[in-house]
Amino acid sequence: MNIDRDLLQKFERGLDPQHPERSAIPARIIGYGEITTVFEIDAEGVRDLAFKRLPLFNTDAEVERYTAVFVEYNRLLEEEIGLRLPPHDHVVITNARGRPVFYIVQQKFPADSMGTAILQRATPDQVGTLVEHVLHQVCKVWQFNRQHQHLQIAIDETFSNWAWSGHDLFYVDTSTPLFRVNGVEQLDTELFLRSAPSFLVWILRLFFLHDVVNRYYDPHRVLVDLIANFYKDQRPDLVPMGVRAVNEFLATHAREFDIAPLTEKEVRDYYREDAFIWSLYLAMRKVDRFLRTRLLRGEYPYILPEKIVR
């Protein structure tokens, strides 16, 4: 990809994190993850690109380490596992305070081709096919992991991370490159506690590192997460069909992996707990933003969603 670095540098320097549309180079937020913010930038030559901003780094060494892990993760997914990723690149720039900011640049998909949008307008009889399409891709990861004991790769298979384009499914969520070499996590997961209020870091370390990260390496739990997100995506009515579709897949195409089937109850219980953790987390971050921007008059570099509908 041929990215205009100067433009991105100007964008970052002129960015108003609280009001991106009022930035020197105007931008619109097209997606919030739990960690990253995804922009489209209104400037010549970049309108068909999605920009994912990660303001997590303090030093060049940290961003270099992250870059190496990010590049290798993309390579593993594309070349070793055979997932389709959108054409992509990355750019590291320096913000006004001299800190490195990492941008992932991807070809942008139309909003209505993203998995969440497709799920939101799906009819109950389409759910089985949608789930099956995703699981055929996920199966490639399970296959790889089984054949490579020393190298284990995790993806976040939830619907919001897939784009449907023609007959292909593209995986877009590469900002959390999780893979373990001989059991050692290559990503410094502590980075993701950075955006957290300092008064919460210890409790998040407990949840985040031990629970959220491990979850992605456990096929059964990732499947529970996949269907539990139907609640978050405002389609609780599709949960029973989703559970049935997953179990059907596990009993046929994925029988060799011997993964325990799901129950509706565990999906429901999981959602309640997960939604609680993240809404508490977001609420605490807002308190933190208030303290830092209003009371302490400091810089608040992160961008928070106003309200995540659950």
Closest to ligand ADP by CB, 35 vs 139, is: 35
Task: Give yes or no for a contact between 178 and 187, defined as CB atoms under 8 angstroms apart.
Answer: yes
Binding mask 152-171 for ligand ADP (x = CB under 6 A): --------xx----------
Q: Is 161 in the site for Mg ion (CB under 5 A)?
A: yes
Which among 65, 89, 80 is positioned nearest to 187, based on CA atoms? 65
If one asks whether residue 14 binds Mg ion (CB under 5 A), the answer comes out as no
Question: Residues 173, 225, 233, 288: which binds Mg ion (CB under 5 A)?
Answer: 173
Minimum distance of Mg ion from residue 161's CB (angstroms): 5
Burial string for 46-55 (b: 16+ CB within 10 Å, else e) reads beebbbbbbb
Min separation Cβ 98 and Mg ion, Å: 29
197 binds Mg ion (CB under 5 A): no
Contacts with 41 (C-beta within 8 Å, 6 or more apart), sequence order: 7, 11, 25, 26, 27, 47, 49, 51
* Residue number with CB closer to Mg ion (145 or 161): 161
How far apart, in whole angstroms, are the C-alpha atoms of residue 170 and residue 134?
10
Task: Answer with the entry of Mg ion, ligand ADP, none that 176 interacts with (C-beta below 5 to 8 A by kind).
Answer: ligand ADP
> How many binding residues for ligand ADP (CB under 6 A)?
20
SS3 43: coil
Q: Does 229 bind ligand ADP (CB under 6 A)?
A: no
Q: Starting at the earlier edge strand, list the strands of the sheet with 37-41.
A: 27-32, 37-41, 49-54, 100-107, 88-94
Give the residues lining the site for Mg ion (CB under 5 A): 33, 161, 173
